[in-house]
Amino acid sequence: MLSLLSFAGSSIQTMAAFCQSDRRLRQLMLIGTSIWLINNTLVGSPAAVLMELLFIGSNLIAYHRYYGLVVKNKKRLSKGCNKT
């Protein structure tokens, strides 16, 4: 079970590394890191869990800062410069 989780997490993060779209890269990295977080929790490694939580947090902050909050009509609600 743990081997399959680590394989899935690594595979998704490897696919993310070859994405040309920054948005897709960040999304896949969040998925892969979440799988690693589950794996590290099941293994019982508090240092690895903390590392993954920090990585997820920094990735979410960067995603929000770059893309902002997008609502149904596709207008950005973030403050500052609008990025397209």
| Structure-model confidence comparison of residues 24 and 82, the more confident one | 24
In a domain, 75, yes or no: no
Distance CA(67)–CA(62), nearest Å, equals: 8
> What percent of the chain clears pLDDT 70, i.e. is strictly above it?
81
Q: For position 69, what pLDDT does the model report? A: 67
Question: Looking at the domain assignment, is residue 61 inside a domain?
Answer: yes
Q: Tell me, what's the pLDDT at 82?
A: 45
Q: Is residue 16 part of a domain?
A: yes
Specify the number of domains making up the chain.
Answer: 1
Q: Is residue 78 part of a domain?
A: no
Q: What is the pLDDT of residues 42-78, one digit of tens each?
A: 999 999 999 999 999 999 998 888 887 665 555 554 4
Within-domain flag for 27? yes
Structural domain boundaries, residue 59: 2-67
Average pLDDT over residues 3-18: 94
Does residue 24 lie in a domain region? yes
